[in-house]
Amino acid sequence: MYYYKGAFRDADNFIYFKSDVTLAENDVVILGEKTYFIESVQKEFLLLQKVGSIVEVST
């Protein structure tokens, strides 16, 4: 289990959550009904960006 702390640019609020997998830069995280894009990762700290909606995902 991995524990993360996320924040947004120019904001003082933090989001704390856990994940079964390691998260990396450019990953997309869905927490409840909200979707976030990971701009950067520094240890367990994530810089997040809000995402409106995801239309298509491919690997």
Q: What is the pLDDT along the chain (59 residues), one digit of tens a residue?
A: 999 999 988 888 898 989 999 999 999 888 888 888 999 998 889 998 888 766 667 77
In a domain? residue 40: yes
Q: If you search the block for the tokens 């995902």, which residue do you land on? A: 57
pTM above 0.75, yes or no: no
pLDDT of residue 53: 63
DSSP code, position 36: E
In a domain? residue 20: yes
What the block records as the tokens of 17 is: 């959550």
pLDDT of residue 4: 92
In a domain? residue 9: no
In a domain? residue 3: no
CB-based contacts of 48, cutoff 8 Å, min separation 6: 6, 7, 8, 15, 29, 36, 37, 38, 39
In a domain? residue 58: no
Range of the domain at 46: 15-50
- Torsion angle (degrees, nearest 10) of CA 56, 9, 7, 26: 30
In a domain? residue 24: yes
When divided into structural domains, the chain yields a total of 1
In a domain? residue 10: no
In a domain? residue 2: no
